[in-house]
Amino acid sequence: MSNKSVVVLDYGFGNVRSAERALAHAGAQVEITRDYDKAMAADGLLVPGVGAFAACMEGLRAARGDWIVGRRLSGGRPVMGICVGMQILFGRGIEHGIEAEGLDEWPGAVEPLRAPVVPHMGWNTVKAPGDSQLFAGLDEGERYYFVHSYAVRTWELEVTNPHVPAPKVTWSTHGEPFVAAVENGPLWATQFHPEKSGDAGARLLRNWLDTL
């Protein structure tokens, strides 16, 4: 049991209860709130997200979540985004032809997934870098639960400074390759739902908690 404290950011667009239960199950002390002091003080901040990109961004800004995430990151405090909570970390989202600005922590666009059957719904495998901490101890054939119609198809951030560790990007494929997870300094994210991914998801959440 990690005994780490995690705040699940409550901005009206996440499956906060599922995230709370899964994190508690993984051993964390969890609170669902949008309180600035609490969100800043927690060992980790988890940003869930369900629904439309633009609506999530609107909700996030209304709850001053954009500010909380930014402040935590500038202090090197861990943040993890899940599903749309990952998508909004990118530069922009394009849904139904409408473009919305994201938090732009990472350059790139969230675009419609081109596959015969969409949403991409169900359990898929991923290809994680060998030195991934998030997927440590998890077999390559392990499956995670995805539910999404939009995805990041191109990873654009290039780190050229040799003193800055390169981001670890994990990929999956549904019709075409897309970003399934990112580990970049204090900012981690998954397109899939670890809180709904059974034992594999629990292990993954513990891996995150262990880094806090």
Partner 1 sequence: MTLAVRVIPCLDVDNGRVVKGVNFQNLRDAGDPVEMAKIYGEEGADELTFLDITASSGDRETTYDVVRRTAEQVFIPLTVGGGVRTPEDVDKLLRAGADKVGVNTAAIARPELIREIAERFGSQVLVLSVDARRCTPTPDGASVTPSGYEVTTHGGRRGTGIDAVEWAHRAAELGAGEILLNSMDADGTKDGYDTAMIEAVRKHVTVPVIASGGAGKLTDFAPAVAAGADAVLAASVFHFGDLRIGQVKDALRDAGHPVR
In total, the chain counts a number of residues equal to 212
193 catalytically annotated: yes
CB of 170 to partner 1, least distance (A): 11
- Nearest distance in Å: CB 102, partner 1: 17
Nearer to partner 1, 72 or 191 (CB): 191
Q: Of residues 20, 83, 142, 183, which has the active-site annotation?
A: 83
- Min dist. Cβ of residue 73 to partner 1 (A): 27
56 belongs to the catalytic site: no
Considering beta carbons, is residue 121 or 159 the nearer one to partner 1?
Answer: 121
- C-beta of 36 vs 123, nearer to partner 1: 123
Query: Of residues 120, 148, 174, 193, which has the active-site annotation?
Result: 193
Closer of 70 and 124 to partner 1 (Cβ): 124
Q: Which of 20, 105, 183, 195 is the catalytic position?
A: 195
120 in active site: no
**Which residue ranges make up the site for partner 1 (CB under 8 A)?**
15, 17-18, 21-22, 25, 50-52, 116-127, 143, 145-149, 171-174, 193, 195-199, 201-202
Give all strands of the β-sheet with 5-9 in edge-to-edge order.
29-33, 5-9, 44-47, 79-82, 187-190, 176-184, 168-174
Nearest distance from C-beta of residue 160 to partner 1, angstroms: 29
Residues annotated as catalytic (active site), given as ranges? 83, 193, 195
